[in-house]
């Protein structure tokens, strides 16, 4: 633990956010809530081996893109290769100087962020994809259970989008999709997250936000979006969206149930005539 605290101090002094996991039993829950880009893991620990911990971590889809690097005094190449077979990505041998540790970690962080960006980002909108935005809901749900800080989730879906594609073509439809994505990126708070959940469907996560404030934000987005004039091959047109909104204060069992509730609220917004935001409690 003393060595871990020293490494933590070294990395934090270099501007890297660090969290020490003191018990291997808490590794998965801590990783799911902290969402690091890199895990430094020793091969030899009192209760479990690093290989065992790495193998357990790789069973969770939410941690599939986590870069795991063994930081260990193990110099036997065969032992290192066997350890890597349990799902780790890399190996750094100890002892290592403070400067070399910082350089090695920064190099792996940069490489992993580039790879994650390619995997998780939607090429058309620049927003994260389905799996990544669902992971964000999961992380906020876990944080809410610890801190009691509630958050909102909104499912946003373009209205009559099939008509846009049929009438004006898929290229124009792509412009509509990229436009609402840009609007989400510009109008949401820095702490908020938006992802492309499906073709013309988006999932928005609003931390530390009441349902009333979330509804006002989404309605302002809707008002801005429906006033945008799009140009088709033969005519100009406008678009609207519908949104279903839910707050974590509703006592939901897990993040999947929360997303399902937002989807139900979206269905109600569609049923009510579209071009509106519906909160689950209003149904």
Catalytic residues: 200
How far is 142 from 105, CA to CA, in rounded Å? 27
Extended beta strands in 187-282, E state? 193-196, 201-207, 230-231, 236-237, 241-247, 277-279
3-state class of 187 per DSSP?
Answer: helix
Q: For the chain, how many helices (H) and strands (E)?
A: 10, 10
CA 110 to chain centre: 18
How far is 52 from 167, CA to CA, in rounded Å? 56
Task: Identify which of 200, 73, 36 has the alpha carbon closest to the alpha carbon of residue 124.
Answer: 200
For residue 203, report the phi and psi dihedrals to the nearest 5 degrees: -115, 130
CA 150 to chain centre: 17
3-state class of 71 per DSSP?
Answer: strand
How far is 5 from 95, CA to CA, in rounded Å? 15
């Amino acid at each position: 633990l003393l060595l871990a605290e020293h490494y933590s101090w070294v990395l934090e002094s270099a501007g890297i956010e660090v969290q020490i996991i003191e018990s291997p039993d808490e590794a998965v829950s801590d990783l799911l809530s902290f969402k690091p880009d890199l895990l430094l893991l020793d091969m030899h620990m009192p209760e479990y081996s690093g290989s065992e911990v790495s193998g357990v971590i790789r069973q969770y889809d939410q941690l599939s893109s986590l870069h795991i690097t063994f930081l260990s005094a193990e110099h036997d190449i065969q032992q290192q290769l066997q350890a890597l077979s349990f799902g780790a990505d890399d190996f750094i041998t100890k002892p290592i100087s403070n400067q070399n540790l910082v350089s090695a970690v920064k190099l792996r962080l940069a490489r992993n962020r580039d790879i994650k960006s390619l995997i998780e980002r939607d090429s058309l909108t620049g927003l994260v994809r389905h799996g990544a935005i669902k992971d964000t809901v999961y992380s906020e749900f876990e944080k809410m259970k610890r801190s009691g800080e509630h958050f909102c989730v909104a499912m946003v879906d373009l209205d009559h989008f099939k008509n846009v594609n049929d009438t004006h073509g898929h290229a124009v439809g792509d412009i509509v999709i990229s436009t609402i994505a840009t609007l989400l990126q510009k109008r949401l708070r820095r702490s908020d997250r938006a992802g492309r959940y499906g073709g013309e469907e988006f999932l928005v996560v609003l931390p530390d936000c009441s349902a009333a404030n979330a509804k006002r934000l989404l309605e302002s987005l809707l008002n801005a979006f429906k006033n945008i004039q799009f140009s088709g091959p033969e005519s100009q047109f406008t678009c609207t969206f519908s949104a279903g909104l839910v707050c974590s204060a509703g006592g939901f069992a897990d993040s999947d149930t929360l997303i399902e509730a937002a989807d139900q609220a979206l269905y109600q917004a569609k049923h009510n005539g579209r071009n509106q935001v519906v909160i689950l409690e209003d149904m």
